[in-house]
Amino acid sequence: MLGRTVLAGGALAAAAAAGPAIAKDTINVGIATFLSGPAAGPFGVPGRNGAELVIDAINAGTLPAPYAKAGFAGAKMNPIFVDEAGGNAKQVGEYRNLVEKRGVDAVLGYISSGTCMAVTPVAEELKKLTILSVCGTPRVFEEAQRTYVFRTQAHAVGDSIAAAHYVLDKFKDMKSYTGINQNYAWGQDSYKFFDVAMQKMAPETKASENPQFPKIFAGQYGTEISTLSLDSAKLVHTSFWGGDIEAFVLQALVRGFFNDKQVISSVGGSAVDSLGKKFPDGVVMGTRGEYGLLVRDNKEPLNAWFVEEYKKRYDAYPLGPSYQYANSVLALKIAMDAAAEKAGGFPNQEQTMAALKGLSWQSFGGKISLSLADGHQAVHPVGYGITKWDKEKGAATAVDVKFYQPECIYAPAGQNSVEWLEAGMPGAKC
Amino acid sequence: MQLITTMLLDGLSYASYLFIVSVGLTIIFGVMKILNVAHGAFYAWGAYGAAYTIGLASDNDWPDWIGFVLIFGSAILVGLILGAIIERVILRKMYHEEEVLIVLATFGIFLILEDIILLVFGVNPYFAYQPMALLGSIKMGGIIRDVYSLTLFGLAILVALGCWYGLNKTKWGKLLSVVIYDREVSLAMGINVQMVYLVTFILGATLGALGGAYIAPTISVAPGFGIDVIVLSFAVVVIGGMGSIPGALIGALMVGILRAIAVHKFPEFELFVIFGVMAVVLMIRPEGLFAPEKARRI
Amino acid sequence: MVATAWNDKTIRWAVIGFGLLAAAGWLLPTWILNNVMFGLARGLAVLGLLVLWRTGLVSFGHALYFGLGAYAVALLEKYTGLTDVFVKFGAAILVAGAFGFLLGFVLRNYRAIFFAMLSLAFSMVLYGVLVKMEVLGSTDGFSVTQYTIFGWDPEGKYPLFCFIILACVVALTIVQLYLKSALGALTTAIRDNELRVEYLGYSVARAIHIKYLISACLAGAAGGAMAMALGQVDPDSMVNWTVSGELVFITIMSGAGSVVAPFIGAIVFEFLRTYAFELAPQAWQLIVGGTLLAIIFFLPGGIWSVLEKPWAKRETDNG
C-alpha cells in the first residue's frame, strides 16, 4: 500500500508525519459550491462571491484588524472552484479528483446536506482537511467522530428551535401551526425539528394534520396554497429556498395568503432581495446565524467591512451563504497563522488541524466557536426578524430581530441533538 | 362541499398546466415519432424569453397588459428560432436512425441548451409577475384564487380547440394525418414530408415555449427548472397515449385531479400519483388511453 | 464450460485485457484507479442494457435495478453489519433479480417506447418511496464504508478494484456465452421480426423475460459495485431518471458491437466527465451534450466501431 500512496502524490501526507512543512508561496484549496442548477443563484454564487472577496483580501492583506496580516501563514491561496451540482455520487468522485488528481491542500465549502454526508467519509479516508461551510444536517458529526472534517456553521436543529422560540416570544396567541417544506431530507428534518420543539416548549399548541411536503423544484403550489388556506392553523413554517420560496411567495401573494397567515421562513433570505419591494412585509425570516438581512445595519467593524466591500464588488448585499463561505476561509487563515506561530514555520496539515480544533473567533457574522463534536462542529447564535420594505432606502430590512444564544438552542457537547430535543432540551439556558 | 369545490378547482388548474406543458411533446411524437427531451429546454427558453422581455417592459414603465403580448411573442420567437435550427441542422439528418438514438440526440440538445441559458442569463432568477399581479384575485368556493391561474384553464381549452380544428378542419391537418399514417406513401404521393416535419417541429417547440412563457409569471425563472417538466410531460403524454391530443387532455385531467385529492387528503401519496397512474394505465392499456392506430407489419 | 469460454476469442482477449488492467491498477494513481473502478461498475449495467438493446429494447428505467443493488449493499451493512464483498454483491444481484423477475412478467409484453416509459414509471415509483422514507435515508442516503473479503479487512481500494474486475470478467463471459447460445441468437431475430420468431415456435415473451432478468441482475450488480466503490448511496445518484439516461447514453456511446464495448465506453465516459468538469465547471453539461451529439453523428456505431476494424482485420488474418 505504501508504494501506491506515495505514487498518488501523497508526498504531503508523508511530510505531515515529519515536523513542519516546507514554507509555501501558495496553497491550493478546492472550494465546492453550486455554480449551476437551481441552488446556484440563492446559495452557490453568493457563497463563491463571499469566499472570493475574503480570499483576495487575505492574499492582499487588506482585511481589517485583527486579521490584517497577509496570507494563510504567509502563503497566498489559489482557490479552485468546483460545481457542487450533479448529485452526491458525482461529488464524491469530484472530491477524490480534487485531492488525488489536483493535489489540493484543503477543501472548503459544500451546501447540500446530502453532499456533506457523502464527502465526509471520503475526506476521512483520504486524510484531507475539509471545512464544511453551509450544510445543516446534525448527522455529519453525530454519527461518528471525525478527525479531518470541520464545520464552521451550526447545524439545523438550532435553526428550528430558534424558530419555535421566536414564534412563542412574538406571537403569544398562536394556537396551532402547519408547514410547507420540500420533500427531501432538509425539508423533512426542518419541519420535524420545528414540530418537536413547539410540542416540547408549548404542548398546548396544536400541530396541523396536513403539513405539506411538495416535491422540490415543483414550482406550482396552487393546490398546496389552497390546502393551507383551508387549514385552521394560522402559522406556516417553511424551509423553502431559492426559486421555490420565490414562486411560493408570488403565488401566495396574489391570493392574499399573507393577510391571513403568519409565515416563518428559515432560509428564504435570497427571496427578500430578489423580489425586493414585491416581497411581503411581516414574514418572519431567518438567516441561520448573524448573517445577511438580519445584520445589514450592524456596525460591528468586520461585518461593516464585509457588507460594504461585498456591495462594492458585486452590486448586491451579501446573503447568508456569502458569510458562511467567508467564515470558513477566515477560519482556515486563523488556524494556519496560529499554527505557523506555534510551529515556528509553515504549518503542516496536522498542526493546522490542531489549531483549528476548538477554535473560537470573531467572524464576519459574530462570534463562532467550534465547541461541539470534540472541537469540530461550530455553534453560534441564530436569530429571526420580521421583513419590512424600507421605502426611503429602497431596500429590504428586518425589524424585531432577536438572536438566541448557543446555550439555548444546541445540545451540550457529546449529546445527540435529536435525542436531546425529543427529551425536551434538558439544561438549555435561554 | 367547500373541500370538493376546492379540490376540483385546484385539480383543473393543475391539469391545465400539465396539458399546456405537454401538448407540444405529444404533437411532435404523433407526427415525427420523436420523443423530444429537448422539450424541457423549449419550456425553459420560453420562460426566460417571457421573463426577460416582461422585465424590460416593466423597467421602461410600459403598461402591464403588454406582458400578455410578450408572453405569446417570445414563445413564437423561441419556437421559430430553436425549432427551425434544431430540425434543419440536427434532426433532419437523423430520421432514418433508430428511435432511441433520436431520443438521445434530443437529450444532448437539451444539455447544450440548458448550459447556454446559464451562460446567457446567469444564475440569478428572473421575474415576470406583472401579468399575474394585473389580473388580481377572486373569491371562489370560500377561498381566494388568483385569476391568472384560472386563465390557464382558458388557454388550455383554446390550445386544445385550436389543435382539434387545425388537425381536422384544415388542409394542413389532412396532410398531417396522411404523413402520420404512412410516411413512404405520402412521399410517393408528392407530399413535401420535410416541410410537414419542419412545421410540426416548430409548432411543437412553440407550444413547449408557450408553456414556459405562460407559467413564467407565476414562478421564479432560474437555471435548471426545465428538467422536471420533461418527466412530468412524458408521464402525462404516456398516460393519454403518445401522439394523441385528446389523450394528453384526459391524462392531464386525471393526474391533475388525483393529485389535488392527494394533496388535500393524503399528502404522503402526492409523489406517487403521477407515476402510479402511469404504471397502472400502462399495465391495463399498454399504449395509453388514446393510442392512435398503427398498421401491423408482418 | 471453461474450455468453451476460452475458445471464444472475445472472452480470451477480454480476460487478458482485464488481467492487465488489474496488474496496472497496482501502479495507477488513486484518482485514475477510482475513475476506472466507477467506469467498470457502470459498465456492468451498460452490459445489461446491451443485452436488451440487441433485441431492440431500450429501458429508460434501469436505475431501478441499479438503485436496488446499491441500496441492498448499503442496507445490509447498516442493519446487519455484514461487510463481506461476496455477500454484499450477492445480495445486490439477488434483490435486483427478484424484482426483475416479477416486473418482467409485465414488461415482456411491451415494446419500443412503451417498454422504455413503463420502465421509467417503475423506477420513479422506487425513487418516490426512497425520498419519502426516513428509514431508507431519504434524499441524504447513507454511506457504505467498510468491506471485507472472507474476513480480511483490506486497506485501500485496490482489492475492491480487483474484485470488481473479477465480477466484470464473470459477467462478460456469461453474457457472451448466452448471446452465442440458441436462446441468445434469437435476440436479433426478435428485433427484426417478432411474428416470424413466433411462427418458428419460440416464445418471444419468454425470451424477452430472460433477457430482462439478465439485464436486471447486471444492473443490480453494477449498483452494488458502485455503492462499494463510491462509498455512498442516495436516490438522486442511484435511482433518479437521469441515472437511467446516463446508462443509455453510455450504451449508445459504447456501441452494441461487442460485450467488451460497455466497459470501454463507461470508462471513457467517466474520464470525459471528469475533464469536462475540470475544464468548464460552469458548462460541463455543454461538453457532455456536445460529445453525445458528435458520437451520434460521426460515430453511429459507438466507440466500438473504431476498435472494430483492426479487430475484424485480425480475425481474417488469423482465419
Task: List, in sequence order, every residue forming a beta bridge with A77; answer none if it has no partner.
Answer: A27
What averages of pLDDT result for each successive group of 10 residues across chain C (319 residues)? 73 85 84 88 93 86 92 88 86 93 86 80 84 76 78 80 91 88 76 78 83 94 91 84 87 86 91 83 82 86 78 52
A147/B278: higher pLDDT: A147
**What is the CATH number for A108?**
3.40.50.2300
Of C38, C139, C226, the CB nearest to A185: C139
**Domain membership of residue A32 as a residue range:** 2-154+299-379
Evaluate whether residue B291 is within a structural domain. no
Q: Which residues in chain A are closer than 8 Å to B132, comparing Cβ atoms?
A: 250, 254
Q: Which of residues 218-237 of C touch A (CB under 8 A)?
A: 226, 230-232, 234, 236-237
Evaluate whether residue C214 is within a structural domain. yes
Evaluate whether residue A326 is within a structural domain. yes
Q: Which residues in chain B are closer than 8 Å to A212, comparing Cβ atoms?
A: 263, 267
**What is the CATH number for B37?**
1.10.3470
Evaluate whether residue B294 is within a structural domain. no
Q: Which of residues 162-221 of B touch A (CB under 8 A)?
A: 215, 217-220
Q: Which residues in chain C are closer than 8 Å to B112, comparing Cβ atoms?
A: 285-286, 289-290, 293
What average pLDDT does this structure show over A301-329?
94
For the cut 60, the answer to whether the pLDDT of residue A3 exceeds it is no
Q: Which of residues 250-289 of B touch A (CB under 8 A)?
A: 259-260, 263-264, 267-268, 270-271
Confidence at A15, pLDDT banded by 50, 70, 90: very low
Residue A214 shares a structural domain with residue A136: no
Q: How far is C154 from chain B (nearest CA, A)?
A: 41
Is B223 in Cβ contact with A38 (below 8 Å)? yes
CA B76 – CA C212 distance, rounded (Å): 43
A183 touches chain B (CB under 8 A): yes
- Type of residue found at A233: A
Residue A394 shares a structural domain with residue A251: yes
Of B132, B144, B228, the CB nearest to A250: B132
Residue A370 shares a structural domain with residue A390: no
pLDDT for the residue numbered B292 = 63
- Provide the grid cell at B112: 447544450
Of B13, B123, B144, the CB nearest to A40: B123
Is C281 in Cβ contact with A81 (below 8 Å)? yes
Beta carbons of B82 and B226 less than 8 angstroms apart: no
Cis-peptide into A66, omega within 30 deg: yes
Alpha-carbon separation of residue A202 from A167, A173, A419, B222 (angstroms)? 11, 12, 18, 39
Task: Return the closest-CA partner of residue B112 out of C276, A51, A177, C111.
Answer: C276
Evaluate whether residue C132 is within a structural domain. yes
Q: How far is B234 from chain C (nearest CA, A)?
A: 8
What average pLDDT does this structure show over A17-25?
62
- Provide the grid cell at A247: 414562486
Please list, in sequence order, all residues whose beta carbon lies within 8 angstroms of the beta carbon of residue C198, skipping any fewer than 6 positions away: C204
For the cut 60, the answer to whether the pLDDT of residue A2 exceeds it is no
Residue of A nearest to C31 (CA): A100
pLDDT for the residue numbered B15 = 92
CA C251 – CA C246 distance, rounded (Å): 9
CA A286 – CA A409 distance, rounded (Å): 14
Tens of pLDDT along B237-248? 888 888 888 889
Phi-psi region of C49 (alpha: psi -120 to 50; beta: other; left: phi over 0): alpha
Beta carbons of A410 and A158 less than 8 angstroms apart: yes
Sign of the Cα pseudo-torsion (C60, C65, C67, C68, in order): positive
Confidence at A311, pLDDT banded by 50, 70, 90: very high
CA A361 – CA B128 distance, rounded (Å): 43
For the cut 80, the answer to whether the pLDDT of residue A286 exceeds it is yes
CA C141 – CA A184 distance, rounded (Å): 11
Q: How far is C80 from chain A (nearest CA, A)?
A: 17
User: Touching C: which chains, 3+ CB pairs < 8 A?
Assistant: A, B
Beta carbons of A50 and A101 less than 8 angstroms apart: no
Evaluate whether residue C255 is within a structural domain. no
Domain boundary among A347, A363, A379: A379
Q: How far is C315 from chain A (nearest CA, A)?
A: 38
- Provide the grid cell at C143: 454511506
**Domain membership of residue C107 as a residue range:** 2-240
Q: Which residues in chain B are closer than 8 Å to A222, comparing Cβ atoms?
A: 10, 13-14, 149
C19 touches chain B (CB under 8 A): no
Max Cα distance, chain B (Å) = 65
Residue A170 shares a structural domain with residue A77: no
Evaluate whether residue A294 is within a structural domain. no
Number of structural domains (chain C) is: 1
B238 touches chain C (CB under 8 A): yes
A247 touches chain B (CB under 8 A): yes
Residue A27 shares a structural domain with residue A107: yes
Evaluate whether residue B88 is within a structural domain. yes
Residue A22 shares a structural domain with residue A125: yes
Number of structural domains (chain A) is: 2
pLDDT less than 50: residues of chain B: 295-298
pLDDT for the residue numbered B293 = 58
- Type of residue found at A386: I
Cell 468538469, residue? C277
Is A92 in Cβ contact with C231 (below 8 Å)? yes
Of C109, C120, C283, the CB nearest to B119: C283
Is B6 in Cβ contact with A226 (below 8 Å)? yes
Of C35, C38, C138, the CB nearest to A184: C138
Evaluate whether residue B40 is within a structural domain. yes
For residue B292, give the DSSP letter. P
ipTM of model: 0.86
- Provide the grid cell at A366: 459574530
Please list, in sequence order, all residues whose beta carbon lies within 8 angstroms of the beta carbon of residue A212, skipping any fewer than 6 positions away: A178, A179, A180, A181, A224, A227, A228, B263, B267
pLDDT for the residue numbered A389 = 93
Evaluate whether residue C279 is within a structural domain. no
Number of structural domains (chain B) is: 1
Evaluate whether residue B49 is within a structural domain. yes
3-state SS of chain A? Answer: CHHHHHHCCCHHHHHHHCCCCCCCCEEEEEEEECCCCCCHHHHHHHHHHHHHHHHHHHHHCCCCCCCCCCCECCEEEEEEEEECCCCHHHHHHHHHHHHHHCCCCEEEECCCHHHHHHHHHHHHHHCCCEEECCCCCCHHHHCCCCCCEEECCCCHHHHHHHHHHHHHHHCCCCCEEEEECCCCHHHHHHHHHHHHHHHHHCCCCEECCCCECCCCCCCCCHHHHHHHHHCCCCEEEECCCHHHHHHHHHHHHHCCHHHHCEEEECCCHHHHHHHHHHCCCCCEEECCCCCHHHHCCCCCHHHHHHHHHHHHHHCCCCCHHHHHHHHHHHHHHHHHHHHHHHHCCCCCHHHHHHHHCCCEEEECCEEEEEEECCCCEEECCEEEEEEEEECCCCEEEEEEEEEECHHHHCCCCCCCHHHHHHCCCCCCCC
B220/A87: higher pLDDT: B220
Is A210 in Cβ contact with B264 (below 8 Å)? yes
